[in-house]
Structure 1
């Protein structure tokens, strides 16, 4: 199903051609002056030079040719050469009716589907999720859903930080705390216990303690390095402890990601890439891609078109150790082998842009991925407090994500307590849904690359461009539907009619933008564009609701038209909210 802009452009192309002008000038856009018209074409301005005619004369010709078209209610030529367009009622009604019949509201990407890997977790094993993990999880989940809606096969990977020195630190701290464990008995030859020797709470306390100790005790740090090397060389005892760390960590991380309504198809980590590293580096050396520099093995990534110098990608340090870049490159080796994706999308703090530039260029130079591989780094800004600095707890520490969610749930619960007509249990469950909407919408309504201020009071407000306001709009529509059905109405038999007033047409005009907005959000990996659209629709519904007697309408045909329009409005809003990873409650 074509977008409205495409259909209008087709109409203008015919008119331009019939008037003797090249159809390339017939581009239509949404009007930037909605007070004057709904859509516009400025092609006459560009055509004037080619045809040596005043632009208003060209505009007059095209406008005259469009007179009587059922597509338009009004076509107006305005000096110096603008063509202002207003849609016809029948055209608008029919377009919305077609949208309502389609599972994807007219959107189609048929024949362009691809396999996409979205890497958007980045949590570390043995550490709790904190506010720094929020944006990658929330934005990544939305990107994954948008890609799937477009018809792509999408594989979301959490890509855990589960390898390296942190594991050695935990193993040695555990040795100091519980030396009696069989893992530390060099003479033990039996099977290791299946139950972990620590809880998640203990594990989350062990790592920071070990990290602090390593900074003050060189001998402890040396032991940690030794334990890390033993783990990476397959030592049974260290491997058994590592398996416990991963099992306990994954269970807790899954619980916390579930609280965010964020899910992953793969729970892989840096450890999965390790077997590929030796052969990968050797091939780079053999192929002349990598070379030695001050004892390290590096790959030059500088290109002639670069305006600034870029450092080479180090794939092996002088002491033989691998780096994050090495692990990311080896992960690409595994992903190409297992999934052969057409595209990659990586979510991370925008300050990691250089790292991903190095990885992507090295991967293409070394032939790990095809030269034309579609590789996108989506760097996001920081979530800041009201002081403009990265969000912290009152004591200055990094806040756990769990506590942030609890705070926003509490704020929503307290704000909605005054006008409550539901049980305590339903109120708390609803507060969780609305709180998560406030959190996610507050984040996603900002362009991903921009920093933003986390303002719990503004985000939880039931007025303005906020998650709670959008959810309240959907719930209000559901309430109208329920009342209509309770009074004997049959919503499924209602059909959209032509607009009866200006606010109804405004709502219709906002809904027909869905296809082009979604396509833009999909191509640009930009959930914030869906947020802008959602708010426009919700705001238009507010005007329509205020101006129109919906259930009190005595003309049954009019009432059915209203109900059908509201049904489409609800469905489109819920669809877009789902693409953002936001659920809607039945009541508020």
Structure 2
């Protein structure tokens, strides 16, 4: 189903062509003065230069043609050359009836569907998720849903960090505390225990303790490096501990991601890319892509057109050790071999922009990816506290993600219980859904690259541009539809949405028509905030319409009441679709 703005553009382009002008001047946009008209065309201003004619004359010629079209209620040429366009109520209602009957409300899908891998996790095992992990998870999940909605095959990968020095530090600290564990006995040849020798809480305490201890004790730091090397080369005991760390960590990670309504198709790890490294290094050497620099193996990625310094991409350190560069390039090799994607998208802190620029250039220059495979980095801004600095705990530490979820959920629960409209058990369940909406909407309503202030009071407000306000609108519509059902009435299948009878109804209908354009824009620009803005405006226009219109009223005839019920059902369906794309759901009541 064509977007409404495209249908109008077709009419205007034909009008330009019929008067001997190029069609391109008939491009139509939403009006920037909605108090004057619904849509506008500024093409006469550009055409005037090409055809050496006063723009108002061209605009008037086009307006005279369009006035004959039943789609339009009013067409006006305004000096110096604007064409203001207002749709007829009949056409507007007809378009909504078309949306109502089409799958996904008539949203046009990707004409050339792609296979896309999105890397949007990145937590390290043996460490808890903290607030820094939230944005990549929330943004990645929403983009995955948007891409999939548009018809693509999308694979989300958590890409766990499980192979670096932190593993050696944890094992070294465990060895310092419990030296008698069987894992540290090099003469042991039996089976290792199935149960880990540590709990999740112990594991989460061990890493920061080990990290701090290593800074004060160089011999311990060297021991950790040695353990890392041995583990990466197959030491039985260390590999068994590493496996325990994975099992304990992943179980907890899945639990917290589930609370965030975030899921991954792949639970791949850094270690999965290790088998690809030797052949990759050999390939880079044999094909002349890599060179030795101060003992290290590097690939030059600087280009003549660069205006900033771009360092070489280091593949191996001078001692032969691998780096994140090595692992990330090997992961690309793995993804190409296993999935052959059309696009790989990485979502992480925007401060890693130069790093990914280097990795992508290296992958392209060395032909580790197909010529047509797109590599995309999406860098997000920082979630800050009210002081404008990265969000911290009161004592200055990094807040665990689970505690952040609890903080928002508890505040929503408190507000629900203030009204005492439901019992405590139901309030807790509702607070989980509303709290998640508050958290996700508060994040996604900002442009991805922008920093934003985390304000629990504002995010959990049931009024304004917030997740709870969107959910409240959905719940209100559910309540109206339930009341209509209780009257015993039904909507006959042949009935449709009728022409608007008020300005608020017309405004609501016009906002509905922007659905496809919004989703298309969010998809092309990788911008979930566009969906947030759309559903906020849709909810706002519904609120105005609701306060002015008695939807459940005996004064209406069957057709008028059916029209209103079909209209608000359409609003509800679109809102539910949009919040699903943002990654949260609505309760039955609030």
Mapping of residues 307-386 of structure 1, within 5 Å: 307-386=307-386
Q: Distance in 2 between matches of 1:83 and 1:111?
A: 32
Give the C-alpha shift of residue 372 in structure 1: 3.4
- Are the counterparts in 1 of residues 123 and 160 from structure 2 also a CA contact under 8 Å? yes
Matched residue, 1:587: 589
3-state DSSP of counterpart to 1:172: helix
After TM superposition, give the deviation of residue 423 of structure 1 in Å.
2.1
Alignment of 1:185-334 (within 5 A): 185-334=185-334
After superposition, the C-alpha distances for 1:474-532 in whole angstroms (9 at most, x for unaligned) are: 10011000000111122574521111111011001111011111111001110001111
Structure 1 residue aligned with 2:513: 512
Partner of 1:532: 533
Deviation digits for residues 25-82 of structure 1 (CA, Å, limit 9, x no counterpart): 1000000000110000111111112222111111111111111312111111111111
Match of 2:440 in 1: 440
- Aligned equivalents of 2:369, 2:412: Cα separation in 1: 47
Q: Is residue 2:11 matched to residue 1:16? A: no
Conserved in 2, the CA contact under 8 Å of 1:39 and 1:86? yes
The unaligned stretches of length 5 or more in structure 1 are none
Aligned to 1:560: 562
8 Å CA contact 2:417, 2:424 repeated in 1 = no
Corresponding residue for residue 542 of structure 1: 543
Shift of 1:304: 2.2
1:421 matched residue in structure 2: 421
Given that residues 110 and 152 in structure 2 are in contact (C-alpha distance below 8 angstroms), is that contact kept between their aligned partners in structure 1?
no
Q: What CA distance in whole angstroms lies between the structure 2 residues aligned with 1:487 and 1:302?
A: 72
1:523 corresponds in structure 2 to 524
Once residues 457 and 470 of structure 1 are traced to their aligned partners in structure 2, the CA distance between those partners, rounded to angstroms, is: 16
1:571 aligns with 2:573: yes
Query: 1:551 matched to which residue of 2?
Result: 552
- Structure 2 distance, partners of 1:437, 1:471, is 8
**In the alignment, what sits opposite 1:153?**
153
Q: Shift of residue 320 of structure 1?
A: 1.1
Instruction: Quote the offset at 1:110 in angstroms.
Output: 5.0
User: Is 2:33 the counterpart of 1:33?
Assistant: yes
Q: CA deviation at 1:221?
A: 1.4
C-alpha contact (below 8 Å) 1:97/1:496 kept by paired residues: yes
Partners of 1:436 and 1:491 in 2: CA distance: 34
* Aligned residue pair count: 588
- The two structures have a TM-score, normalised by structure 1, of 0.99
CA offset at residue 388 of structure 1?
0.3
Deviation at 1:103, TM superposition (A): 2.3
Larger CA deviation: 300-309 vs 22-31:
300-309
Matched, 1:408 2:408: yes
Which shows bigger deviation, 13-22 or 235-244?
13-22
Contact 1:485 1:491 survives alignment (8 Å): no
| Counterparts in 2 of 1:110 and 1:385: CA distance versus 1, 3 Å | closer
Q: CA RMSD in A?
A: 1.1
After TM superposition, the structure 1 = structure 2 runs for residues 458-477 of structure 1, keeping only pairs within 5 Å, are 458-477=458-477
**1:553 to partner: Cα distance:** 5.2
8 Å contact kept, 1:284–1:366: yes
Q: Which moved more, 1:276-285 or 1:253-262?
A: 276-285
Q: Is the 8 A contact 1:129 1:400 kept in 2?
A: yes
Aligned 8 A contact 1:19 1:65 in 2: no
Matched position secondary structure for 1:266: coil
Structure 1 equivalent of residue 504 of structure 2: 503
In 1: Cα distance, 2:417 partner to 2:55 partner: 61
Instruction: Give me the whole-angstrom Cα distance separating, in 1, the residues matched to 2:127 and 2:331.
Output: 22
SS of match in other structure, 1:234: coil
**Offset of 1:184 from its aligned partner?**
1.3
Provide, for residues 327-380 of structure 1, a one-character-per-residue CA deviation record: whole Å limited to 9, x for no partner: 110000000000000011110000000110011010011111023321110000
Q: Match for residue 132 of structure 2?
A: 132
Residues 172 and 110 of structure 1: CA distance in aligned 2, closer, same or farther (over 3 Å): closer
2: CA distance between counterparts of 1:304 and 1:545?
61
Moved over 6 A (4+): none
Per the alignment, in what secondary structure is the counterpart of residue 76 of structure 2? strand
In the aligned structure 2, how far is the partner of 1:238 from the partner of 1:63?
A: 78
CA shift for structure 1 position 20: 2.0
TM-score with structure 2 setting the length: 0.98
